[in-house]
């Protein structure tokens, strides 16, 4: 098995082609081959972590948003104050921006 860069893409293959550039095995999903060695692409790594955290936050707060809306519709005391709800949905929007690679 060979680890190569072929057409600017890393791959593992059973056979070498003429234009393949043989490299050590890629040590990490977010590593890039630069100046003859693998280095971590910190931007890609931390962007991926941010996206995982943003998705988790949205999933964890879905029920709270639903609960607030139902309580409002029923005209009963809400679990969150109006200010807390606005703060929550603002944070949720910030996380959606992270997930969609948009700028704030």
pTM beyond 0.85, yes or no: no
- Structural domain boundaries, residue 24: 2-40
Number of domains in the chain: 2
Residues 28 and 51 in one domain: no
Residue 98, judged by CB atoms within 10 A of its CB (0-12, 13-18, 19+), counts as: middle
Confirm whether 104 is domain-assigned: no
Residues 86 and 65 in one domain: yes
pLDDT of 102 reads: 54
Measured between alpha carbons, how far is 40 from 99 in angstroms, rounded to an integer? 21
The predicted-structure confidence for 24-71, as pLDDT tens digits, reads as follows 999 999 999 999 999 999 999 998 999 999 999 999 999 999 999 999
| Percent share of the chain, pLDDT over 90 | 89
Residues 57 and 68 in one domain: yes
């Amino acid at each position: 098995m060979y680890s190569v860069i072929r057409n600017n893409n890393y791959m593992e293959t059973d056979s070498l082609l003429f234009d393949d550039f043989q490299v050590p095995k890629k040590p990490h999903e977010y590593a890039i081959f630069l100046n003859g060695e693998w280095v971590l692409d910190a931007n890609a790594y931390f962007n991926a972590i941010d996206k995982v955290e943003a998705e988790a936050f949205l999933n964890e707060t879905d029920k709270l948003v639903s609960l607030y809306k139902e309580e409002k519709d029923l005209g009963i005391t809400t679990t969150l104050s109006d200010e807390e709800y606005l703060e929550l949905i603002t944070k949720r929007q910030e996380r959606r921006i992270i997930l969609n690679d948009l700028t704030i």
